[in-house]
């Protein structure tokens, strides 16, 4: 079991009350790593302190035809 899978195992058991077998934990860890990295990278390129999730609806309204 690698570090990320071990971390996932701990998260599942200690923080979420869920149990998975080792194979599934390894798959989940790999999936989460890809998704996390994508968002972290995109966020680092774009987000500032003042970015608000609600801006999404405002942009749609402002850019409306």
Partner 1 sequence: MINDDLALRDLSDVADAIAAGRITSVQATEACLARIAVWQPRTNAFLRLNKEKALEQARAMDKELAAGKRRGPLHGVPMAHKDMYYRAGEISTGGSAIRRNWVAPVTSTALQKLDAAGVVELGFLNMAEFAAGPTGHNVHHGHCRNPWDDKRVTGGSSSGSGASVAARMVYGALGSDTGGSIRLPASACGVVGMKATYGRVSRAGAVARSWTLDHVGPLTRTVRDNARMLAVVAGHDPDDSTTSEKPVPDYEALLEGGVRGLRIGFALPDALVPVDAEIGAAVQAAADALGKLGAIIAPAQMPDFTDLYRAAEVIVKCEAAAMHRPWMEANAPYANQVRTRTDAGYFIPATQYIDALRLRAHFVREFLAQAMHGVDAVLLPAIPFPIPTIEETDVEASGGPATLKMVARFTGLTRPFNTLGLPALSVPCGFDKNGAPIGLQLIGRPFDEALLYRIGHAYQGATEHHKKVPA
Supply 35's token pair. Answer: 């998704």
Alpha helices per DSSP H over 1-65: 3-10, 22-46, 55-62
Please say whether the dihedral angle defined by the alpha carbons of residues 63, 49, 52 and 32, taken in this order, is positive or negative.
Answer: positive
- To the nearest whole angstrom, how small is the minimum distance from the Cβ of residue 6 to partner 1? 13
Query: Which x/- pattern over 8-47 shows residues binding partner 1 (rule: CB under 8 A)?
Result: x--xx---xxx-x---x--xxxxxx-xxx-xxxxxx--xx
Would you tell me which residues interact with partner 1 (CB under 8 A)? 8, 11-12, 16-18, 20, 24, 27-32, 34-36, 38-43, 46-47, 51-53, 55-61, 63-65
């Amino acid at each position: 079991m690698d570090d990320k899978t071990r971390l996932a195992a701990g998260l599942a058991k200690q923080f979420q009350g869920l149990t998975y077998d080792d194979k599934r934990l390894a798959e989940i860890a790999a999936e989460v790593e890809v998704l996390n990295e994508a968002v972290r990278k995109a966020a680092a390129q774009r987000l500032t302190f003042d970015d608000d999730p609600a801006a999404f609806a405002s942009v749609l309204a402002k850019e409306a035809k």
